[in-house]
Chains A and B, each alone.
Chain A
Amino acid sequence: MPKCIIDGREVEFTPGQNLIEAAKGAGIDIPLFCYHPGLSVVAQCRMCAVEIEKMPKLQTACSTLAAEGMVVKTKSQKTVENQKSVMEFLLANHPLDCPICDKSGECDLQDNSYKHGSAYSRTTEERRTYLDLDMGPVIKKNMNRCIHCTRCIRFGSEIAEIREMVALKRGNNTEITTIDGRPLETDYAGNYADICPTGSLTIKDFRFKKRVWFLEKVPTVCEGCSKGCNMEIHQDNNQIYRCVPRENKEINHYWLCDEGRFNFHYVEREDRLLDPARTKTSGLEVCDWASSIDLAKAALAGKNIAILVGSDLTQEEAAAVLQFKEQHYSQASIYHFGTPGILSTRDDAPEDRILKRKSKTANLNGLEKLGIRGFSKLSADVTGLLIIRGGRATLPADIDGVEKVGIGVFMKDQALMFSVILPGLSFAEKDGTILNYEGREQRIRRALQPPGQAKGLSEILMMWANRKTSHGAA
Chain B
Amino acid sequence: MLLKKKKGFLQELYLIEIIKGLMITMKNMLFAPKVTIQFPEERRNYSDRYRGMHYLKATNGVENCTACMLCPTVCPAECIHIEAGERPDKEKYPVKFEIDLLRCCFCGMCEEACPKDAIKLSNIYEMSTTYREVYDKQFLLEQRGNK
Contacts and interface: CB of A to CB of B under 8 A. Distances in A.
A455 B48 CA distance: 56
A209 B92 CA distance: 11
Contact of B68 (A100, A209, A214): A100
A208 B67 contact: yes
Contacts of B145: none
B68 A99 contact: yes
Interface stretch (B19-27, B83-91, B134-142): B83-91
A185 B84 CA distance: 29
Interface in B56-70: 66-70
B73 interface: yes
B86 A211 contact: no
A120 interface: no
B96 interface: no
A207 B95 CA distance: 14
Interface residues of B, number: 13
Nearest to A96: B115
Interface string A208-231: 110101100000000000000000
B116 interface: yes
Interface residues of A, number: 10
B86 A208 contact: yes
Nearest to A100: B92
Contacts of B67: 100, 208
B86 A99 contact: no
B44 to A, nearest CB: 37
B105 to A, nearest CB: 20
Contacts of B68: 98-100, 104, 211
A104 B69 CA distance: 11
A203 B119 CA distance: 28
Interface of A: 98-100, 104, 207-209, 211, 213-214
Interface of B: 66-70, 73, 84-86, 91-92, 115-116
10 contacts: A99-B115, A99-B116, A100-B66, A100-B67, A207-B86, A208-B84, A208-B85, A209-B84, A213-B73, A214-B69
